[in-house]
Amino acid sequence: MTIRPIIGLEIHVQLATRSKLFCSCAVEFAAEPNSRVCPVCLGMPGTLPVMNRAAYELAVRAALALNCRIARFTKWDRKSYYYPDMPKNYQISQYDLPLSSEGYFEVPAADGSLKRIGIIRAHLEEDAGKNLHEGLAYTRVDLNRAGTPLLEIVTKPDLSDADEAYAFCVELQRLVQYLGISEANMQQGQMRFEPNVNVAITDGGVEYRTPISEVKNLNSFRSVRAAIAYEIDRQVKAWQADHNYTLDKVGKLNFGWDDAREVTEFQRGKEESHDYRYFPDPDLVPVTVEDAWIEQVQREIGELPLTRQARFMRDFGMTAKDCEVILADRATADLYDGAIAAGADAKVLTKQMVGVWNHLASARGVSIGALGIAPVTVADLAKAVQDGSISATAAAQVAEEILNRGPVAGEGVQAIAARLGVVQERDEGATQKWVEDAFAANPQAVADALGTNERKAKAAPGFLRGQVMKISQGKADPKLVGELIERKLDELRRPKSP
Ligand SMILES: [Zn+2]
């Protein structure tokens, strides 16, 4: 018996617009319940929706990045269902003429190659509100979320295991964040996943297919992976117990996911599209787009993160871990490219980005790209360390000063370093004096360096160097200090003349 899992994903991504899809209410997480609503998103009779152009543009940007064909003509449909969080009793979505279709997305596979996953369609729709029943004997409805723009992405069933689905979700999150399509904050439910899973079982030369399970509303990568792995296992066992457990005989099924118990729970038979009574929304005009506009959006997308990562690793010797920081968003990656163009050394620059700049950005809760520093400034700081005029430690101080006070009267990195008194002293005389002082102040370390205890003898010069750096207040050139310490120790090792 062989088994082959067949997995597709439906993903909802909340678009990073300021206002809702068909009204001007603000999209805001955790606002006072029912405070971001108006007659349109409350579904009052007689109101008229108006499409948010920014949402449409973000959706097209995503569709192009997913290599989809963009429809020149598309319309809005009403998907009928009755639920308290949907006051109109229908959701505005796109049915037979979605804004995009027939794309693909490449995902890194376990062996390092890229696997191409087909995209059936990506379309726009509005989100529902929220029913709140936790700890209550009744249900409360918050409609702040009603009307929030969602991009629904539907893949082909091209994924072959839980890990591949996991990788797809991670890479998709990176793409939409990088392109500013969505903040894709999982805790706030801005990215939700619904895997479709079944298994082709070949037994005695006959292929059986288990019923397709759709697992609803997963909101973490971890639960996507766990739910798919669980379903594959459950379906194979169910089929082994009863060979009538097949897609032909049972159909499609909806499941929920219990995150605490890590099991799927049967909800109901899956609806077919005719259950929703789709029909064109008479209140909204169809959307037509021009080729020139699509080309413009395409140009603005530029190099995609995965391609850029390959280039950064190849040309600048970055590791995947470096890329996580430097390719976190487009502004940061652009800053890096800009600093390289301004003459920074790639190795030093990478180190400073992942170290100093990342540290400062994290402390401010933003990305490096959002710090607002010019590429030439970033390049100058890297150059200053590269040419030895400041130490790596002093670079952190200078960077902090740049962020806190900004360059005073247009001063450059070198001038700031001079003002802070951290320009490295490469004068041998001055450095020699600091070495003498350090030796005089630390006789035990000197004795250790010259002694027979190998471990201590090895550690002592490093300690002495640290002391010299301290005495010089970070101004000494560590390389020169190391040389002078060695020279001094050599002198002391030499037998004293009588
Ligand atoms: Zn509204």
C-alpha 147 to ligand 1 mean position (Å): 7
* Two tokens, residue 271: 């609806």
State whether 235 and 265 are in the same domain. Answer: yes
C-alpha 149 to ligand 1 mean position (Å): 12
The number of distinct structural domains making up the chain is 3
C-alpha 49 to ligand 1 mean position (Å): 9
* DSSP H stretches of helix in 29-161: 53-65
DSSP string of 171-209?
HHHHHHHHTTS----TTTTSEEEEEEEEEEEEETTEEEE
Q: What angle do CA 300, 305, 309 make, to 5 degrees?
A: 135
The answer as to whether 408 is a domain residue is yes
C-alpha 249 to ligand 1 mean position (Å): 44
List pLDDT tens digits, range 313-348.
999 999 989 998 999 888 999 999 999 999 999 999
365 DSSP 8-state letter = T
Q: Of the ranges 71-85, 256-270, 340-354, 399-413, which one carries the lowest mean pLDDT score?
A: 399-413
Confidence grade of residue 478 (pLDDT, cut at 50, 70, 90): confident
247 DSSP 8-state letter = H
The answer as to whether 295 is a domain residue is no
C-alpha 16 to ligand 1 mean position (Å): 16
The answer as to whether 293 is a domain residue is no
Confidence grade of residue 475 (pLDDT, cut at 50, 70, 90): confident
Give the Cβ contact number of residue 248 at 10 Å: 9
C-alpha 166 to ligand 1 mean position (Å): 35
Q: Domain containing 389: what range?
A: 303-420
C-alpha 299 to ligand 1 mean position (Å): 33
The answer as to whether 453 is a domain residue is yes
CATH (domain of 474): 1.10.10.410
C-alpha 85 to ligand 1 mean position (Å): 14
* Two tokens, residue 9: 């994903």
C-alpha 144 to ligand 1 mean position (Å): 8
What pLDDT sits at residue 473?
A: 79
The answer as to whether 297 is a domain residue is no
Locus of tokens 């040309």: 315
C-alpha 89 to ligand 1 mean position (Å): 16
Confidence grade of residue 390 (pLDDT, cut at 50, 70, 90): confident
Average pLDDT over residues 234-246: 95
C-alpha 38 to ligand 1 mean position (Å): 4
State whether 336 and 450 are in the same domain. Answer: no
Beta bridge partners of 92: 78
C-alpha 183 to ligand 1 mean position (Å): 21
Confidence grade of residue 271 (pLDDT, cut at 50, 70, 90): low
Closest alpha carbon to 439 in 480, 459, 468: 468
List pLDDT tens digits, range 108-122.
887 878 899 999 999
List pLDDT tens digits, range 296-307.
999 999 899 888
List pLDDT tens digits, range 150-193.
999 999 999 999 999 999 999 999 999 999 999 999 999 999 99
C-alpha 20 to ligand 1 mean position (Å): 7
- pTM for this entry: 0.79
- Asked if residue 111 lies in contact with residue 101, where contact means CB atoms within 8 angstroms, the answer is no
How many angstroms separate the CA atoms of 255 and 271, rounded? Answer: 12
C-alpha 134 to ligand 1 mean position (Å): 26
C-alpha 487 to ligand 1 mean position (Å): 76
How many angstroms separate the CA atoms of 332 and 316, rounded? Answer: 15
C-alpha 43 to ligand 1 mean position (Å): 9
- Asked if residue 313 lies in contact with residue 319, where contact means CB atoms within 8 angstroms, the answer is yes
Average pLDDT value over all residues in the chain: 92
State whether 278 and 370 are in the same domain. Answer: no
State whether 454 and 382 are in the same domain. Answer: no
On the question of pLDDT at 47 being above 90, the answer is yes
How many distinct helices (H) and strands (E) make up the chain? 17, 17
The answer as to whether 333 is a domain residue is yes
C-alpha 210 to ligand 1 mean position (Å): 43
How many angstroms separate the CA atoms of 426 and 421, rounded? Answer: 14
State whether 70 and 134 are in the same domain. Answer: yes
Last residue of one domain, picked from the residues 420, 438, 470: 420
How many angstroms separate the CA atoms of 177 and 250, rounded? Answer: 39
The answer as to whether 181 is a domain residue is yes
State whether 141 and 171 are in the same domain. Answer: yes
- Asked if residue 254 lies in contact with residue 267, where contact means CB atoms within 8 angstroms, the answer is yes
C-alpha 145 to ligand 1 mean position (Å): 9
* Two tokens, residue 134: 């936790």
State whether 211 and 274 are in the same domain. Answer: yes
What pLDDT sits at residue 469?
A: 86
User: Distance from first CA to last CA of the chain, Å, rounded?
Assistant: 91
C-alpha 377 to ligand 1 mean position (Å): 44
C-alpha 14 to ligand 1 mean position (Å): 16
Last residue of one domain, picked from the residues 370, 398, 420: 420
On the question of pLDDT at 4 being above 90, the answer is yes
C-alpha 146 to ligand 1 mean position (Å): 8
Helix (H) or strand (E) holding 266: strand 263-269
* Two tokens, residue 138: 């009744």
C-alpha 434 to ligand 1 mean position (Å): 70
State whether 251 and 364 are in the same domain. Answer: no
How do strand 213-215 and strand 253-258 relate by DSSP bridges? parallel
* Two tokens, residue 68: 């989809």
Confidence grade of residue 406 (pLDDT, cut at 50, 70, 90): low
Q: What percent of the chain is predicted at pLDDT more than 90?
A: 73
Q: Of the ranges 42-56, 118-132, 242-256, 261-275, which one carries the lowest mean pLDDT score?
A: 261-275
C-alpha 48 to ligand 1 mean position (Å): 11
- Asked if residue 425 lies in contact with residue 476, where contact means CB atoms within 8 angstroms, the answer is yes
Phi-psi region of 197 (alpha: psi -120 to 50; beta: other; left: phi over 0): beta
C-alpha 27 to ligand 1 mean position (Å): 9
Average pLDDT over residues 225-246: 95
How many angstroms separate the CA atoms of 105 and 425, rounded? Answer: 53
C-alpha 95 to ligand 1 mean position (Å): 23
The answer as to whether 475 is a domain residue is yes
Kindly provide the b/e burial profile for residues 461-496, where b requires at least 16 CB atoms within 10 angstroms of the residue's own CB: bebbbebbbebbebbbbbebbbebbeebbeeeeeee
C-alpha 287 to ligand 1 mean position (Å): 21
State whether 459 and 402 are in the same domain. Answer: no
Confidence grade of residue 51 (pLDDT, cut at 50, 70, 90): very high
C-alpha 190 to ligand 1 mean position (Å): 19
State whether 148 and 8 are in the same domain. Answer: yes
What pLDDT sits at residue 420?
A: 84
Residue 33 burial (10 A CB sphere; 0-12, 13-18, 19+):
middle
- Asked if residue 198 lies in contact with residue 270, where contact means CB atoms within 8 angstroms, the answer is no
Type of residue numbered 52 = N
Maximum average pLDDT range among 100-109, 148-157, 455-464: 148-157
How many angstroms separate the CA atoms of 175 and 152, rounded? Answer: 15
How many angstroms separate the CA atoms of 306 and 420, rounded? Answer: 40
C-alpha 56 to ligand 1 mean position (Å): 17
State whether 415 and 460 are in the same domain. Answer: no
Q: In what order do the strands lie in the sheet with 77-80?
A: 90-93, 77-80, 279-280
Confidence grade of residue 429 (pLDDT, cut at 50, 70, 90): confident
C-alpha 41 to ligand 1 mean position (Å): 4
State whether 461 and 340 are in the same domain. Answer: no
Residues 6 or more apart in contact with residue 384 via CB below 8 angstroms: 390, 395, 398, 413, 414, 417
C-alpha 189 to ligand 1 mean position (Å): 20
How many angstroms separate the CA atoms of 140 and 454, rounded? Answer: 73
